[in-house]
Structure 1
Amino acid sequence: MKSWVLLSVLVLAANMLQQYCVDGQQAQVPCLFAFGGTLSDHGNNNNLRTRAKSNYGPYGINFPRGSTGRFTNGKTQVDFIAEFTRLNTFIPPFGNLRGLDKEILKGVDYASGSAGILMDTGSHLGSNIYFLRQISDHRNVYTRIGTILGGIEKGREHLRKCLYYVNIGNNDYIYNYYLPQFYPRYRRYNPEAFAQVLIDRYLYHIQELRRLGARKFVNVGVGRIGCTPYALAMNNRTNGSCVEEMNAAASIYNAKLRSLMDQLNNKKFGDDGSKFIFVNSTARNLGVVASGFTVTNASCCPTGTGVLCVPNQTPCQNINQYVFWDKFAFTEPFNKFLALLAYNGSNPDYVYPVNINTLAQS
């Protein structure tokens, strides 16, 4: 009996310590849920029938066991945000969850390589988990959390304190709008109209997350997609100059997304505490080159004629100087650079109206 009591005390103490990091500081949020595409995928594509996979070397070379399904050499921005908010854990991909695994209390990653806001984005590469399906997967987790904590209301109370990180939309341009041979949108919509289609669907999904208890949102805009090695190769830009048509389209979308965040922040929602911040991925003057990232138009890993790394090839030796790992996704050092900008708000052009640190503590 004494042994049983001692074991119960130890288990209780371990559960209480889950919200603390090794340095003794309390985690800023109890959990982090990530939605998105290639840049945030933690391995959800590993078992899908798709060419958008990264579960092979040299992806993941920074991890002791090698590739995980992340489209980079190491950590994603989601990983770093979990680290900065002192969650002290890797957010697991939804595809790896089993039953009522209690690790979901600290968050889940639903992102999927090649996926977008639109259901057919990236489908020419095979299957992916588009935004609507990610929401559906989260609804499943929402129910599980309620079961673990002893009821839906207790589950919602837990989720209201969590961070919801949404980085999606890049693929809707890269793997949809600018591939007219596969998709009709480029011929059907001008950039303004296409951006509005995306924003309307984005809002629908964000409101669904709110209905499932979400209150703290980090909304990441589309990046300077015209400066990716993918865009340069696709448009035969041998001089390294960006494809400004693509960047301009991304800026239109981002302006609409920022406006949407303002609208949502100005709504009271019954004073339920909903807060929305916007991360402007087309912001200029971020100090990229000054921070040591001097190679901005080439991939670190050998890619051949494709977008992804050629399997088991040796990457560049000076990774810390590279922005891009493959022709689309970032290196771990650049992921950390961007995540830190969003977390501490040192560049007000990048994160608005408050930084992730402030949002987490609100």
Structure 2
Amino acid sequence: MEAKIKLWLVLSLLLAANCMQHYCVHAEALVPCLFAFGDSLTDCGNNNNRATLGRANFIPYGIDFPQGPTGRFTNGRTSFDFISELLGFQKFIPPHADTSGSDILKGVNYASGGAGIRPESGMGDNIDLENQVSNHRAIFSEISEKLGGSENATEYLNKCLYYVNIGTNDYLFNYFFFPIYLTRLFYTPQQYADTLLVRLFKYIQELHDDFGARKFVVVGVADIGCIPATTHQTNGSCVEEMSDAVSIYNDKLKSRVDQFNNHSSTHSKSIFVPSLDRSIIPDFPVANAPCCPTPCLPNRTPCQNRSNYMFWDETHPSEAANRITAQRSSNDIMRLVQSSIQTTTP
């Protein structure tokens, strides 16, 4: 039996590698559904009709995406899109704002550009994490109705994967957005990280306790000290103060994920995966300038060699960078899914 499990894992990883290069249109998904919570790094259209400048449903955004501009804040696929392909989903997970007629039993993407863990973080009209979880509560009710009750819905959702990628705006458009926000006057970087994590895991615990979520992929905060929006002010150098604060948060996040695993239910498992950081800079000929000129407005002409650029605009990674970010977490995600199959198979 152990040999068979190892063989299955090897074959799954080979399939995963192939899926990262090509669309997996025939493979059966390795989990029944996939839910995403986050900000513009994961948003796929939830902000399209909101009263905010934080929208990306226009060209040149989506210039390399199969369906064109959808509200994704990049030229093509997000890291979450690549992960959904890795897991064998035949269609991209739909935004919550456009679930009418969608098969919500396959999952929903609640992410909103500009959103933060704290409700005041970000800019414009966005859906903060608390409201994203509230939206999931409504979807849970719909799933319960479809499956004949909340117990059946909970049992079904036990097998699904929950992807949480949020926190960047709590630093970029809150802690380091002085003097618009005065947060830095009241919290050291260590204290601020702690306050964010208390709130974040409050919502993760709610997903676990109220909706049956058992498998979480929790993504670290991106290295905002090295994005073009900050490096253009320092002649291309990373802003170490910002990078250090994010590093403190990510180190604490890893520890909190471990604590959550130790104190949650037997079949619950969470993993930490890193977000965009300077470790992938050597993979790109252009790592300190955006492909789409700043500001990336409708019908702007982007660079032609987009795969050479780490950043699509001044704050968001390119599809090429998103692919690398997803690839380097693929082994951990596959192990998480494989452990789920082992614990649920009779």
- Whether these two folds match at TM > 0.5 is yes
The equivalent residue for 1:41 is 43
Q: Hey, what's the Cα distance between the residues in 1 that align with 2:275 and 2:102? A: 34
Q: Pick the structure with greater CA Rg.
A: 1
Please tell me whether residue 207 in structure 1 is matched to residue 194 in structure 2. Answer: no
Determine which of 269, 291, 301 is the counterpart of 1:300. 291
CA RMSD in angstroms comes to 1.5
8 Å Cα contact 1:29-1:361 kept in structure 2: no
Deviation of 1:310 (Å): 2.0
Deviation of 1:294 (Å): 2.0
Q: Hey, what's the Cα distance between the residues in 2 that align with 1:268 and 1:55? A: 39
The equivalent residue for 1:232 is 231
Question: Alignment partner of 2:287: what SS?
Answer: strand
Normalised to the residue count of structure 2, the TM-score between the two structures is 0.88
Q: Hey, what's the Cα distance between the residues in 2 that align with 1:209 and 1:261? A: 14
The equivalent residue for 1:189 is 187
Q: 1:22 to 1:40 in 2, by over 3 A?
A: closer
Determine which of 334, 338, 343 is the counterpart of 1:357. 334
1:136-147 superposed matches below 5 A: 136-147=134-145
The equivalent residue for 2:254 is 258
Which structure is higher in helix share? Answer: 2
Question: Alignment partner of 1:41: what SS?
Answer: coil
Deviation of 1:190 (Å): 1.1
Please tell me whether residue 52 in structure 1 is matched to residue 39 in structure 2. Answer: no
1:264-283 superposed matches below 5 A: 264-269=260-265, 271=266, 273-281=267-275
Unaligned regions of 5+ residues in structure 2, if any?
1-23, 340-346
Q: Hey, what's the Cα distance between the residues in 2 that align with 1:57 and 1:102? A: 25
8 Å Cα contact 1:44-1:111 kept in structure 2: yes
The equivalent residue for 1:325 is 312
Normalised to the residue count of structure 1, the TM-score between the two structures is 0.84
Question: Alignment partner of 2:41: what SS?
Answer: helix
8 Å Cα contact 1:102-1:148 kept in structure 2: no
The equivalent residue for 1:4 is none
Deviation of 1:70 (Å): 0.4
Determine which of 94, 97, 100 is the counterpart of 1:95. 97
Q: 1:89 to 1:111 in 2, by over 3 A?
A: same
1:165-201 deviation per Cα after TM superposition (whole angstroms, max 9, x unaligned): 0000001000111112221211111111111110110
Match of 1:275, as an amino acid? K
Question: Alignment partner of 1:357: what SS?
Answer: helix
Please tell me whether residue 114 in structure 1 is matched to residue 118 in structure 2. Answer: no
Q: Hey, what's the Cα distance between the residues in 2 that align with 1:336 and 1:223? A: 15
Question: Alignment partner of 1:297: what SS?
Answer: strand
Q: Hey, what's the Cα distance between the residues in 1 that align with 2:183 and 2:25? A: 49
Q: Hey, what's the Cα distance between the residues in 2 that align with 1:257 and 1:65? A: 35
1:34-68 deviation per Cα after TM superposition (whole angstroms, max 9, x unaligned): 00011000010111111111111100011354210
8 Å Cα contact 1:229-1:328 kept in structure 2: yes
Unaligned regions of 5+ residues in structure 1, if any?
1-20, 345-354
Match of 2:214, as an amino acid? R
Deviation of 1:303 (Å): 1.1
The equivalent residue for 1:159 is 157
8 Å Cα contact 1:30-1:87 kept in structure 2: no
Aligned residues: 315
1:246-285 deviation per Cα after TM superposition (whole angstroms, max 9, x unaligned): 000001101110010111112253x2x110100133766x
Match of 1:295, as an amino acid? V
The equivalent residue for 1:343 is 330
8 Å Cα contact 2:309-2:318 kept in structure 1: yes
Question: Alignment partner of 1:39: what SS?
Answer: coil
Q: Hey, what's the Cα distance between the residues in 2 that align with 1:144 and 1:356? A: 28
